[in-house]
Chain A
């Protein structure tokens, strides 16, 4: 594996290797000195064209714990705001000798384009409405830690599937790992062509919850109302929000996930987000371990 552009790039063995490596690296976080020398002398560029405190910090911490030199490049206040093209930025990074480029971009496929212009490894940290493969890896890691397995696990992904890169990567990765995924949304928020995805679909959250070991709630932007995806935030919340009574219909050990940032009171009630079933804070911590594993596996080999 040279790049991580899509969760579909990962075979079952690749994915399990990332998760197992992350498990080992997670132990480093428990030590007083949280640093490994693995990527010393390697340069990792975080190229963030979109605001994302969570993902950017997570990659930054991951690379630093592996002793890489980390350069974070935010689109704001850089040459990008002067109209420099993605290609010219890529050529600059190439000239500076970036070994790895972690990219977040609002355009689907931007990491694929970079991979054609840069010789270093590209890690997709979220591209438009396409994918967010490290999020899927950290979600799988979290599920495996909490529930002890992925094979046969029943996972419901609920919300704005149409615009969600988290959903796309999770569906692909979880299918590879043998989980049984159902995406749940109003029909307007499921893409035309979703029937080709390796998952089931449902419009009825209440029917799916009792049969779910994991329920993953996605952020729904209130602006979607303006485009008539749903009539009102209230109606969305009533039909597709996870509140206390709905959570009670889950099997006993089931967990509740959210990639953040949350709209409390919209897709998830505060009492659910803060409940013992919630893995939301763990997901953040696990993100660092998983991203360390990805950087280690992509960049560590020929150092």
Chain B
């Protein structure tokens, strides 16, 4: 069992963009004052945000424990400032039954670094043919509310319609991986001047946008809730803006890597830059930043995708898609959104904690840090700068596209219901 929860005082901390004050926790919740014998943390110059919530994490367990485990992935999450992550369903076996989601949920509880909310598969085996037992997963101990065939698009329009309708019974949401399969057969990278030069099969932006447009129309027709995973193109942002203006119940996420990196990195042919959806152009990056700033894009989600060395140390076409993200997400968001003046700290808290928690219907996360709310908190040093060293990351894998990059802002401490999971930038 975990040690008895102590009480804490974060001395002189700035809560979001507020003035320096003391933030106290007792018995796992934010309290008006610290009890006797509280531990004191000098937080002068530091910023407190609600613990980050990731809507899109691949923890690889069960099945690929060589690439990541629930334990190693949630360590990376805690070090990145997360207090909750959504574990994607594309494990082996697939998380398409109550049994698998409960196993992942228990592994998360056991590890204790952050809450793990399993995402359930929409279709059996991610095969896109038959609905998985969504209700059983929703009613399980894991309380699944987010369903996704991530990595595969639910491209069958009828199946997508049924899924959108069905999950309304338990206030669930379908998180769509928008990728028209025929338009992306063998696709390797964004289709444009760089793919033309490199001779890599192109991945047209329209293959993403067409599915998002269709799903927005379906969600509008049904009054259902739709979430769009890892939006990567300017056109997708425009479609989402249009749909939201019409009152469609759609939310969307963007990854840190799509906020910073472009397809020009493929010219090294180093598959560390190979990801699904692919890195796009600088115009897309600009549109994604704009969309996140104005709230068209609701959330930053990492799509943390660990891969074993042998799945990345190959020729480009043979390599797996995906990048690490949990330990670099906050810094990348600071670099692309805060340093550029597009989001303040309240905005960061909104896009990385409050809104993702609401989308996932996660209880006790994404709170305001008001007295009485659960003490899920990340302490950030906004003045810090650090250089990404793949070997120093907690993940079992090394496939970060940010290796060697100097990034702003560092996580100093993370508290999960008042208990430190990270202190002094290290696992507590």
Q: Taking beta carbons and an 8 Å cutoff, which residues of A are in contact with B?
A: 85-87, 105, 107-110, 112-113, 116, 127-131, 165, 168, 191-197
State A110–B194 Cα separation when bound (angstroms): 17
Please determine whether B315 and A107 come into contact, CB atoms closer than 8 angstroms.
Answer: yes
In the complex, what residue of chain A is closest to B311 when comparing beta carbons?
A85
Complex A-B: 17 CB contacts under 8 Å: A86-B315, A105-B315, A108-B188, A108-B198, A108-B200, A108-B269, A108-B317, A109-B198, A113-B270, A128-B199, A128-B317, A129-B200, A192-B196, A192-B202, A193-B192, A193-B197, A194-B196
Please determine whether B199 and A192 come into contact, CB atoms closer than 8 angstroms.
Answer: no
State A10–B198 Cα separation when bound (angstroms): 16
Q: Taking beta carbons and an 8 Å cutoff, which residues of B are in contact with A?
A: 188, 191-202, 204, 268-270, 310, 313-318
Nearest-CB distance from A222 to chain B (Å)?
19
In the complex, what residue of chain A is closest to B318 when comparing beta carbons?
A107
Please determine whether B317 and A107 come into contact, CB atoms closer than 8 angstroms.
Answer: yes
Main secondary structure of the interface of A (DSSP, over half): mixed
Given A130-B199, A197-B196, A109:B314 Cβ within 8 A: no
The 4 residue pairs across chains A and B that have the minimum distance between CB atoms: A109-B269, A130-B199, A193-B196, A193-B193
State A194–B193 Cα separation when bound (angstroms): 6
State A86–B204 Cα separation when bound (angstroms): 29
In the complex, what residue of chain A is closest to B202 when comparing beta carbons?
A192
What chain A residues lie within 8 Å of B315 (beta carbons)? 86, 105, 107, 109-110, 113
Given A110-B315, A192-B191, A196-B193, A129:B199 Cβ within 8 A: yes
Please determine whether A192 and B317 come into contact, CB atoms closer than 8 angstroms.
Answer: no
Please determine whether A113 and B191 come into contact, CB atoms closer than 8 angstroms.
Answer: no
In the complex, what residue of chain B is closest to A171 when comparing beta carbons?
B197
In the complex, what residue of chain A is closest to B266 when comparing beta carbons?
A109
Given A130-B199, A191-B195, A108:B310 Cβ within 8 A: no
Partner of B313, one of A85, A128, A192: A85
What chain B residues lie within 8 Å of A105 (beta carbons)? 315
Please determine whether B316 and A107 come into contact, CB atoms closer than 8 angstroms.
Answer: yes
Given A85-B314, A107-B317, A109-B315, A193:B199 Cβ within 8 A: no
What chain B residues lie within 8 Å of A165 (beta carbons)? 199
Beyond A113-B269, A113-B270, 17 extra complex contacts between A and B, CB < 8 Å:
A87-B313, A87-B314, A105-B315, A107-B316, A108-B198, A108-B269, A110-B269, A113-B316, A128-B200, A129-B199, A130-B200, A192-B195, A192-B202, A193-B193, A193-B202, A194-B196, A196-B193
In the complex, what residue of chain B is closest to A167 when comparing beta carbons?
B199
What chain B residues lie within 8 Å of A87 (beta carbons)? 313-314
State A131–B188 Cα separation when bound (angstroms): 17
What chain A residues lie within 8 Å of B316 (beta carbons)? 107-109, 113
Nearest-CB distance from B234 to chain A (Å)?
16
What chain A residues lie within 8 Å of B202 (beta carbons)? 191-193
What chain B residues lie within 8 Å of A193 (beta carbons)? 191-197, 202
Please determine whether B198 and A130 come into contact, CB atoms closer than 8 angstroms.
Answer: yes
Please determine whether A191 and B314 come into contact, CB atoms closer than 8 angstroms.
Answer: no
State A110–B191 Cα separation when bound (angstroms): 20
Q: Which of B193, B268, B313, B315 counts the most chain A CB atoms within 10 A?
A: B315
